[in-house]
Amino acid sequence: MAKEKLVTIKQSNLTNNCPECFNQDLKLSFFQKHRYGKLSHRTTNEVTHQLVCNTCGSTIYPVKWTDDIERTFKYYQKMVVPEKSSLQFTSLFWILILLLIVALSAGIYFLIAEKITV
């Protein structure tokens, strides 16, 4: 089963007011999802975000955003450049492929050798 990990792309401190405690100490983080399995590592296109107040520790969801927070979020969202989606195979995958090729070639060799001797 593949494990999913959110890798931080960009973090920014905002000076907008928190809708909960009205302090100006917010942190905006952008994450990109990576999936790690036994045979492959996949980087996806999926980018998520999280806005947290450093003073009260609450996560601020888009429902509670003010217009100022919305404008600032759109600005930082344009600046985020995620990695390209990619697929990398692990060494276990390549070892299994190599063993499969060796097994098939040995099977074909023994079939041909058996027909020649008969």
Instruction: Give per-residue pLDDT as tens, 8-27.
Output: 999 999 988 888 888 888 99
pLDDT of residue 98: 97
Q: Is residue 80 part of a domain?
A: yes
- Asked if residue 30 has pLDDT above 70, the reply is yes
Q: Is residue 49 part of a domain?
A: yes
Domain of 34?
A: 3-90
Q: In one letter, which amino acid is 91?
A: S
Task: Write b or e for each residue in 81-114: b if 16 or more Cβ atoms lie within 10 A of its Cβ, otherwise e.
Answer: ebeeeeeeeeeeeeeeeeeeeeeeeeeeeeeeee
CA atoms within 13 A on the CB side of 86: 6
User: Scanning the structure block, which residue is given the tokens 């089963």?
Assistant: 1
* Total domains present in the chain: 1
Read off the pTM: 0.75
Instruction: Give per-residue pLDDT as tens, 52-111.
Output: 998 888 899 999 888 999 999 999 999 999 989 999 999 999 999 999 999 999 999 988
Q: Is residue 66 part of a domain?
A: yes
Q: Is residue 54 part of a domain?
A: yes
Q: Is residue 12 part of a domain?
A: yes
